[in-house]
Amino acid sequence: MDVLGSFSLEGKVALVTGAAYGIGFAIAEAYAACGAKIAFNCRSQEHMDKAMEAYREKGIDARGFICDVTKEDEVQQMVAEIEKTLGTVDILVNNAGIIKRIPMTEMKAEEFRQVIDIDLNAPFLVSKAVIPGMIAKGHGKIINICSMMSELGRETVSAYAAAKGGLKMLTKNIASEYGAYNIQCNGIGPGYIATPQTAPLREIQPDGSHHPFDQFIISKTPQARWGTPEDLMGPAVFLASDASNFVNGHILYVDGGILAYIGKQP
């Protein structure tokens, strides 16, 4: 067996949703470096223009599509266009997502539904759209970006935790339902990742101290640091490649050990 060759994505078509920046962009960059053809979506032309510029700066010939992944007709149209221009989707990464940090009793039902719609319903819709092509081709990889909140609860994230817990079980069910078609569906559960979205939580305070949340995360992480988008590249390539052909229904937590750690005694 060519072990190193089994990690190659040469010629594969990868669709990474919400890959304009952050985790999705890093995963798309890793796939491109391993030989995959990259497709991604944005909801607006403004975000698309910025994303395409970022891909060009990295020398990546990515194809961008304006698509709201919560709308089934738009998803079906995007997948059909990808199949026509790039080929059947071999790898799907359901990365697009949002979080609303609102105490549960203060959260409006429409806000709860919006998080569920983007973080759980959208992965269902995009997976549903690519699975027929994967069945016809005889293989496929679906990777859902889950979360530590797929396992844990925390103040103010009731909708996010509900969605990510549901996404964990959707992952397991896709693996159960379509494993016989040589489709592997797994999840990645990032820990706390240093991205532009989390930058305010890592700012040095006026007195020179670290933000309280920054101190909290470092104290709870055995590796004593935040993760980076680059930390997710290797796991994402593994789950997209032939090296993981007998890994199915698994959630790979890339969290620096937080879920394994009870914390230091006060």
Handedness of CA 158, 160, 162, 165 (dihedral sign): negative
Active site residue: 31, 55, 160, 178, which one? 160
Q: Tell me how far CA of residue 24 lies from CA of 21, 152, 156, 181, in angstroms.
A: 6, 23, 24, 26
55 is catalytic: no
Q: In one letter, which amino acid is 101?
A: R
Calculate ∠ Cα 173-174-175, nearest 5°: 90
- Spatial CA neighbour of 63 closest among 46, 43, 78: 78
Active site residues: 160
